[in-house]
Chain A
């Protein structure tokens, strides 16, 4: 509960190394030319994993008050709602794509 969790520097370096490694993986998977739409799925999955690692261990949500995690998750849910409702419109239009 306390906001004063102190990570050891070994732990922080470990998290940093994991992020560097996942960055390498992000680039490496593009060498295999995974057919779409799976290339996007893979790229977003790795990016989400990296984002989760940063949020949990650099932003300390893992040890933090659950309320802050709830705020973060709420932001993601509302973002997905924004995307979802927008795509319900733009993906299913009968008219051609607008000129802009």
Chain B
């Protein structure tokens, strides 16, 4: 009809099909939550496998988890919780228009995520060296249970899928750092920071359950 909307001042990030920035922000966030629902059920299948086999072979879990190092598991839990804190601080910085603080907090988060993956790498390497491999490749003889390979198949699937999520998270946060350096974010627009934060917190929540279920059985 008229071209009044064309002259109206609209921020650059605002898509034409949204009324305002708030509506766009809320829609993005809800979309992210729907994705997180699918993520919970994605991991849920693995948790179901864990529970079914634990009900079938309670002794197996007691014996096999002694191969997992509680100390490094605890350190990794603390590292991930610390990274959740820095992501929350990054979002706070973005909300307050402190782009320098945003970038710093993102770098600390990336650093902590890398520490997590390094520890995971050393844990995996140590197990591979001993012949603790998933499924039919399992050759370790230190656990007196014929189904020991099953526990480690579940262990590698759960921690492996979680590890892939951490690596994806590192990629996302590097992307955010690049965007932030280009000046893409401000207190008026930080949607990618917010929804990456949601993703990262979910990865943390998954680990909060994996840690006692895998490492702390005795």
With a cutoff of 8 Å between Cβ atoms, the chain A residues found around residue B85 in the complex are 12-13, 15-16, 19, 58
Contact call A82/B44, Cβ cutoff below 8 A: yes
How many A-B pairs fall under 8 Å by CB? 134
Give the secondary structure class of B's interface. helix
Query: Is B26 among interface residues, defined by CB-CB distance under 8 A?
Result: yes
Contacts A51-B205, A78-B41 given; does A27 touch B48 at CB 8 Å = no
Q: B22 touches which one: A3, A36, A72, A79 (CB < 8 A)?
A: A3
Closest Cβ of chain A to B133, distance in Å, is: 17
Give the secondary structure class of A's interface. helix
Interfacial residues of chain A within 50-72, with CB under 8 A of chain B in the complex: 50-51, 54-55, 58-59, 64-65, 67-68, 71-72
With a cutoff of 8 Å between Cβ atoms, the chain A residues found around residue B30 in the complex are 65, 67-68, 71
A55 to B37, CA, bound (A): 13
Closest to A55 in B: B205
Query: Is A86 among interface residues, defined by CB-CB distance under 8 A?
Result: yes
Contact call A3/B41, Cβ cutoff below 8 A: no
A100 to B49, CA, bound (A): 12
Interface size on B, residues (CB 8 A): 51
Closest Cβ of chain A to B101, distance in Å, is: 10
Closest Cβ of chain B to A62, distance in Å, is: 13
Interfacial residues of chain B within 75-98, with CB under 8 A of chain A in the complex: 77-78, 81-82, 84-85, 87-89, 92, 95-96
Closest Cβ of chain B to A17, distance in Å, is: 9
Interface size on A, residues (CB 8 A): 48
Contact call B205/A72, Cβ cutoff below 8 A: no
Closest Cβ of chain A to B208, distance in Å, is: 5
Query: Is B66 among interface residues, defined by CB-CB distance under 8 A?
Result: no
With a cutoff of 8 Å between Cβ atoms, the chain B residues found around residue A4 in the complex are 22, 25, 95
Contact with A along B21-48 (1 / 0, CB 8 A): 0100110011001101100110011011
Contact call B22/A2, Cβ cutoff below 8 A: yes
Listed from nearest, the 4 A-B pairs whose CB atoms lie closest are A16-B85, A43-B212, A75-B37, A75-B40
Question: Could you show 24 A-B contacts with beta carbons less than 8 Å apart?
Answer: A2-B22, A4-B25, A9-B89, A12-B92, A16-B81, A16-B82, A20-B78, A26-B216, A44-B212, A47-B208, A47-B211, A51-B209, A55-B201, A58-B85, A58-B204, A59-B202, A64-B29, A65-B30, A68-B33, A72-B37, A75-B41, A82-B44, A90-B55, A91-B55
